[in-house]
Amino acid sequence: MEELTEKELHALVSLLDDEDKEVKSHVQDRIFSLGHGIIPFLEKKWEDSFNPEVQKEIEDMVHKLQFSQLKERLYDWANTPDQDLLTGLWIINTYQYPDLDFDKLNTDMHQIYFEVWTAFKNNLLPHEQIKIINNILFNSLRFSANTKNFHSPGNSMLSNVLDTKKGNPISLCAIYLLVAKKLGLPIYGVNLPNLFVLTYKSKDVNFYINAFNKGLVFNKQDIYNYLNHLKIEPLDVFFDPCTNKDIIVRMLRNLVVAFEKLGETEKVQEVKEMLSIVSE
C-alpha cells in the first residue's frame, strides 16, 4: 500500500461527501489505488461517520477492494500446480464472509478428519472404510442434505455448511473428499449432470458414493440408468474423476444460479467474473 499519513487519509476520506461528482470520483479512484491495506481504516471511518450516504460509499469501496483481493487470490490459486481444494473453497467463502480466516476453516476440517480417523482400524476393506466415514459424517456429526433451501448461496460457503451441518451435493462431497484425502483414500469428485458425486477408484476397486444421500454407495450401471432416465448420452466425464478446479468451477456455477434465483444481479456478475478466472 502506498504510504499516506493518517492525517492525509482522514483528509482524503472526508472528501467523499463532496458534492462535486468529479472530486468524489477522483477521491474514490485515489482510495482504490491504495489497495487492500486501507480496508481497516475505511471500516473505522464507517463506524465514525453519521452520514448514511458516506457510509454507503465506504461500504461499496470496501466491497470493491475485498473483491479485488479475492480475484487476485483466485487467479493465484488457478495458477498453482496443486490447486489445493480447501484453499479454493476458502477463497469462494470470502466472497460472502471477507473476514473468514483460512486457519479457522482448516481447524474445523481437521476436527472432522480427527473424529473419522479415530474410528478407523487397520486393514479395513474399501466398503468398510466408507461405512465408517458415513457413520461419523451423517450419524455422529449429523451432516445432511439442505433440501428445504437447495438453492441458497450458503450451500456454497464451506463455513456455513460446517456451522449448519446442511449443504448441497457439491459442498457435502467436498467435506467428504477433504476427509478422505487426509486419510489417503483414493476418492475423487465426479461431475454428473444435476448431481455431484464421488468415486472410490483404485486398481482393483471402483464404486460411487452419493454424499447428498448419506453416503449411499452405487455402481457404474446405476449411472448408466440415471443418464438414460435423463436422456443424456453417457460420456466419460460422467464416470471419471474430476479435478479440484472442476469442483471450484461447479461450485461457482451453483452460486450464479443461487444469486439469479434471488434476483441479485450485481452478485451474479461478480461470480461470473470469478468463474472466468478459473475457467481460462
Q: Does residue 169 register a pLDDT over 80?
A: yes
Q: Does residue 1 register a pLDDT over 60?
A: no
| Structural contact between residues 238 and 264, judged by C-beta atoms closer than 8 angstroms | no
Average pLDDT over residues 192-203: 95
Buried b (16+ CB within 10 A) or exposed e, 91-122: bbbbbeeeebeeeebeeebeebbeebeeeeee
**The predicted structure's pLDDT at residue 184:** 95
C-alpha cell at 202: 483404485
CA distance 94 to 274: 12
Q: Where do the structural domains in the chain lie, given as residue ranges?
A: 6-78, 85-279
Quote the percentage of the chain above a pLDDT of 70: 90
Q: How confident is the model at residue 7 (pLDDT cuts 50, 70, 90)?
A: low
Q: Does residue 280 register a pLDDT over 50?
A: yes
Quote the percentage of the chain above a pLDDT of 90: 73
Rounded to the nearest 5°, which phi and psi values hold at 251?
-65, -40
Looking at the DSSP assignment, which residues form a beta bridge with residue 189? 198
- Please check whether the domain covering 85-279 is classified as CATH 3.40.50: no
> Among 46, 60, 52, which residue's Cα sits nearest to residue 13?
46
**The predicted structure's pLDDT at residue 72:** 94
Q: How confident is the model at residue 57 (pLDDT cuts 50, 70, 90)?
A: confident
Identify the helix (H) or strand (E) that includes residue 197. Answer: strand 195-201
| Structural contact between residues 181 and 156, judged by C-beta atoms closer than 8 angstroms | no
How far apart are the two ends of the chain, measured CA to CA in Å? Answer: 29
**The predicted structure's pLDDT at residue 11:** 65
Question: For 116-143, how does the pLDDT look when each residue is reduced to its tens digit (9 = 90+)?
Answer: 999 998 899 999 999 999 999 999 999 9
**The predicted structure's pLDDT at residue 3:** 63
Instruction: Tell me the pLDDT of the chain averaged across its residues.
Output: 90
Question: For 222-263, how does the pLDDT look when each residue is reduced to its tens digit (9 = 90+)?
Answer: 999 999 999 999 999 999 999 999 999 999 999 999 999 999
- Give the global pTM: 0.87
| Structural contact between residues 64 and 32, judged by C-beta atoms closer than 8 angstroms | yes
Helix axes 102-119, 126-134, angle to 10 degrees: 120
**The predicted structure's pLDDT at residue 10:** 66
Residue 191 CB-density burial (10 A; 0-12 exposed, 13-18 middle, 19+ buried): buried
Strands 166-167 and 144-145: parallel
Q: Does residue 9 register a pLDDT over 90?
A: no
Question: For 147-159, how does the pLDDT look when each residue is reduced to its tens digit (9 = 90+)?
Answer: 888 889 999 999 9
Lowest-pLDDT choice from 8-17, 29-38, 79-88, 192-201: 8-17
**CA 249 from centre of chain:** 10
Number of helices (H), then strands (E), in the chain:
12, 6
Question: For 62-110, how does the pLDDT look when each residue is reduced to its tens digit (9 = 90+)?
Answer: 888 899 999 999 999 999 999 999 999 999 999 999 999 999 999 999 9
